[in-house]
Amino acid sequence: MVQAIRSALGVLSGFTLRLRGSPDPELSQVLSRIAALAAFVPPPAEPAAIPPLIPPADAGQHFPPEPHPIQQYRAIWLSDIHLGTAGCQADYLLDFLKHNESERLYLVGDIIDGWQLRRGWYWPQRHNDVVQKLLRKARKGTEVIYVPGNHDEVARQFDGLAFGDITVREEAVHVTATGKRLWVVHGDLFDGVVQHARWLAYLGDSLYTVILAMNRHFNRIRARLGFPYWSLSQYLKHQVKNAVNYISSFEHAMVDEARRRGCDGVVCGHIHKAEIREVNGQIYCNDGDWVESLSALVETMEGELKIVYWTTLHDPLEARPRKRRRVAAISG
């Protein structure tokens, strides 16, 4: 204890001498030792950066998926859209038209269903959107050719006229990039039932409407369960032997007439069955429909013919039904 006090007094006396200006050799030695030790001690680490209370502007944001690329074709054929009916898959068609462009667009009949509209008026906003989309394509430079069918046969009287840059033709001939001549016609003129048993055609159309209603409800349930679109009506039709035989007879009649007209093949619609195949040495193409198969026929820039099925919406948010606008009643 006494020794500790003496040491403390010695240090104090040293500090006193230092303050008076007299150097203290022991104090200098102690400070030198402290400096030497400090040289071997690493500097303290900088404190970790504290994350800001407000996150960056892009934190937690959900960026939209990459847009689906727009496909460019030399020609596109669409038929059997049946605007004016509940069976028309307008959302899928609008999505297809948004993501596919062409130099020439053929509307191969039954675009508007006059038969159903005569029975009862049905024309939602999405059907209006389809018409506007087609007119917009025509305005922007796409050559749009409208070949009427049996459900919109009233338009055949306007053969050769143009409506909003859309030309009406009872039939047309398309020349592919490879030089193939394709006769373009709806095909109802080669349907014996439509031509010779009109009442049976109307009856069949009514039954077909019932099947399409079943198809809509069936696919609504599939969509809720997470399954993709699948055509119940197409499946039922292809299981009936008479329907298969009818389709085969129709195909042969179409290619025979195309050959008689000096063409290498035919593009048609009418029977709602998309197909590309060779029949009796001729090219038979059917572009399908937009109530069951949701399909189109396309010609690539190289002249290849393909069937495109559009059973998945690439912009599903745009397919949501729009809210109806309130229209104020005007009296007087």
- Integer CA distances (angstroms), 139 to 94, 136, 165, 301, in order: 17, 5, 6, 22
Strand (E) or helix (H) holding 125: helix 125-139
Write out residues in the chain with pLDDT < 50, as ranges: 1-2, 4-5, 8-9, 11-12, 15-20, 22-23, 27, 30-31, 34-41, 44, 50-55, 57-60, 62, 192-203, 240-241, 244, 322-332
Considering the entire predicted model, what is its pTM? Answer: 0.66
* Residue 101 resides in a domain: yes
**Count of residues making up the chain:** 332
Is the CB of residue 125 less than 8 Å from the CB of residue 322? yes
The domain that contains 134 carries what CATH number?
A: 3.60.21.10
* Secondary structure (H, E, C), 157-178: HHCCCEECCEEECCCEEEECCC
* Residue 321 resides in a domain: no
* Residue 45 resides in a domain: no
Q: How confident is the model over 112-133, as pLDDT tens digits?
A: 999 889 889 999 999 999 999 9
Note every long-range contact of 159-164, with CB atoms under 8 Å and residues 24 or more positions apart, other chains counting. Answer: 164/135, 164/138, 164/139
Instruction: Please report the pLDDT score of residue 54 as a whole number.
Output: 47
Strand (E) or helix (H) holding 267: strand 265-268
Instruction: Please report the pLDDT score of residue 227 as a whole number.
Output: 75
Instruction: Please report the pLDDT score of residue 327 as a whole number.
Output: 32
* Residue 120 resides in a domain: yes
* Residue 291 resides in a domain: yes
* Domain count within the chain: 1
